[in-house]
């Protein structure tokens, strides 16, 4: 389930293979993901040189010297495979570099997307233009202001990409646990101090996940050739019924159709 840390790790992995390299060949195998692939994706990428790599929220960015940026989203099952041996059924896009490396975008559930956007328009481009602040850049005063008057549970608003960009279900749960905040609490009723604690927790959880992902990345050229995803020991996520560090028991509830895991003993 790629959230910000997994996308960041993916981008760093792709950077080693792509940055400064020419794209020799592009093969669109199945283009009907969330959106159809741009029909001219192949011709606009073929022969181009990759001049930069980046990330915004959960979107990965591959910038070329033609003024285009490939914007990808991994949805929930997407991943890039580096030098895959043979192609798999869900390898929807294949990119070959001038020095013979191969990359495939694999996404069984096809919730992901691939778009080609003029580089100078990326920041204002539809989905990215609507995104809120990066977790690393948001201040507690700013978040407190954004949450003011909101009656929805804090958990639901942490998943709203227009407020903070990049959190998904896992890290929203983990951050709330670390900040000792009850996920059901109305977002607008959190004190300034608790919002500050939440911001700190979000930053820590994200940073640790990226660090752990980076260490997995060191051996990303494993036999299966896949980029390694962060698989940490979560404190609460997917741990229903198991003990919390405080001695409580992790509970699962449903909010907005999504599972929330939290500890009733230490989250208030």
- The single residue among 24, 27, 54, 111 that binds DNA, judged by CB under 7 A, is 111
Catalytic annotation present for 39: no
Q: Are 83 and 40 in contact (CB under 8 A)?
A: no
Catalytic residue among 3, 6, 8, 174: 3
Sign of the C-alpha dihedral, residues 6, 1, 222, 41? negative
Answer yes or no: are the C-beta atoms of 213 and 8 closer than 8 Å.
yes
Does 183 bind DNA (CB under 7 A)? Our answer is: no
Exactly one of 29, 34, 251, 258 is catalytic; which is it?
258
Annotated catalytic residue within 44, 58, 155, 178 = 58
Residue linked to tokens 């192609």: 87
From 157-165, 174-182, 193-201, 241-249, give the range in contact with DNA by CB under 7 A: 157-165
Which residue lies nearer to DNA by CB, 75 or 135? 75
Report the nearest approach of DNA to the CB of residue 133 (Å). 14
Handedness of CA 249, 252, 255, 258 (dihedral sign): positive
Note whether 173 and 5 are within 8 A (CB): no
Torsion on CA atoms 195, 201, 202, 203, rounded to nearest 10: 110
Kindly state the number of chain residues that form the binding site for DNA, as judged by CB under 7 A.
34
SS3 42: helix
Looking at beta carbons only, is 48 or 92 nearer to DNA?
A: 92
265 catalytically annotated: no
Interface residue with DNA among 47, 127, 214, 225 (CB under 7 A) is 127
Q: Is 89 in the site for DNA (CB under 7 A)?
A: yes
Binding flag, residue 253, DNA (CB under 7 A): no
- Print the binding letters for residues 47-76 with DNA: x by CB under 7 A, - otherwise: ----------xx--------------x-xx
- Which residue in this structure is represented by tokens 């008057």? 149
Burial of 60 (0-12, 13-18, 19+ CB in 10 A): buried
> How many Å apart are CA 146 and CA 19, to the nearest integer?
37
| Smallest separation, CB 214 to DNA (Å) | 20
Q: Which is nearer to DNA, 48 or 244 (CB)?
A: 244
Can residue 24 be called a binding residue for DNA (CB under 7 A)?
Answer: no
Nearer to DNA by Cβ, of 41 and 131: the residue is: 131
Half-sphere exposure (Cβ direction) of 228: Cα atoms closer than 13 Å: 18
Kind and range of the H or E element at 97? strand 91-97
Q: How far is Cα of residue 70 from the mean position of the Cα atoms in its chain?
A: 16
Q: Do the beta carbons of residue 116 and residue 69 sit within 8 Å?
A: yes
Min dist CB 82 to DNA, Å, is 20
With binding defined as CB under 7 A, does residue 168 bind DNA? Answer: yes
2 as an active site residue: the answer is yes
Q: Quick one: DSSP state of residue 228?
A: P
Candidates 29, 49, 150, 251; binder of DNA (CB under 7 A) is 150
Structure tokens belonging to residue 37? 């692939």
Residues known to be catalytic: 2-3, 58, 258
Could you list the residues that contact DNA (CB under 7 A)? Answer: 1, 3, 34, 57-58, 73, 75-77, 89-90, 108-111, 126-127, 130, 150-153, 156-157, 159, 161, 168-170, 238, 256-259
């Amino acid at each position: 389930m790629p959230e910000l840390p997994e996308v960041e790790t993916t981008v760093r992995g792709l950077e080693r293979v792509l940055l400064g390299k020419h794209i020799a060949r592009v093969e669109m195998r199945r283009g009907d993901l969330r959106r159809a692939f741009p029909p001219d994706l192949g011709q606009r990428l073929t022969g181009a040189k990759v001049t930069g790599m980046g990330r915004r929220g959960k979107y990965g960015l591959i910038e070329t010297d033609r003024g285009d940026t490939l914007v990808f989203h991994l949805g929930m099952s997407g991943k890039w495979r580096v030098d895959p041996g043979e192609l798999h059924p869900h390898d929807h896009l294949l990119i070959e570099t001038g020095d013979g490396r191969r990359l495939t975008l694999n996404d069984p559930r096809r919730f992901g997307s691939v778009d080609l956007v003029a580089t100078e328009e990326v920041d204002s481009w539809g989905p990215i233009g609507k995104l809120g602040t990066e977790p690393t850049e948001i201040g507690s005063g700013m978040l407190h202001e954004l949450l003011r008057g909101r009656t929805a549970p804090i958990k639901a608003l942490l998943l709203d990409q227009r407020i903070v960009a990049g959190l998904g279900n896992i890290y929203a749960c983990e951050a709330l646990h670390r900040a000792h905040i009850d996920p059901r609490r109305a977002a607008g009723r959190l004190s300034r101090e608790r919002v500050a604690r939440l911001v700190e927790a979000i930053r820590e959880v994200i940073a640790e996940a990226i660090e752990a992902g980076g260490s997995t990345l060191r051996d990303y050229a494993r036999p299966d050739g896949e980029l390694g995803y962060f698989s940490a020991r979560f404190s609460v996520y997917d741990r229903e019924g198991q003990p919390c560090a405080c001695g409580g028991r992790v509970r699962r509830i449903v909010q907005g159709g999504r599972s929330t895991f939290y500890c009733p003993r230490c989250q208030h």
